[in-house]
Structure 1
Amino acid sequence: MRLRPNVRITGAERHQLAQLVADRYQAGEPIRTLALSLGRSYGFVHQLLEEAGVELRHRGGDNRKNVTTEPAASTGAEQ
């Protein structure tokens, strides 16, 4: 779905677009990808998501290292 550039979207049309964008975002699509597919800016899509009440994901995903709580297995070569 590509929107006409420089056209203000208001009322019911904006509400429908916000719901569509929210559904796609919650399905895992990034904001930048949504913006490209709509032909709109990142900020426009971000604003639509806020209007739709969507909880935004943090940037970059999970950055924690894979930490194990178990001690390393013994090799039997210990003295």
Structure 2
Amino acid sequence: MMLTGKPRARTLTGIARAQVAAELKTKYERGASIRALAGEADRSYGYIRRLLLAAGVVFRPRGGVKRPGRPWEEA
């Protein structure tokens, strides 16, 4: 059974994938959530997470920041 409606997103490869990953990394490191990035890019949470992982992102702990500062980052 085929779903109708939204067309399938184009596959990113090579330089285009690296550029998108770098942009997503910058936004994530500035505080955007993976869910927000996925919604903005119209991609799945898992896809965005894999791109960020490939870009070398150090993920924040689950649940967001509970205290001032960012304890997961090295000083």
Question: Which residue does the alignment assign to 1:33?
Answer: 36
Question: Which residue does the alignment assign to 2:45?
Answer: 42
Runs of 4+ in 1 over 6 A off after TM superposition: none
TM-score by length of 1: 0.71
Query: What root-mean-square deviation, in Å, do the aligned CA atoms of Structure 1 and Structure 2 show?
Result: 1.7
Offset of residue 62 of structure 1: 4.5
Kindly tell me the number of residue pairs found equivalent between the two proteins: 61
Gaps of 5+ in 1: 65-79
TM-score by length of 2: 0.74
Question: Which residue does the alignment assign to 1:16?
Answer: 19
Higher relative contact order (CA closer than 8 Å, sequence separation 6+): 1
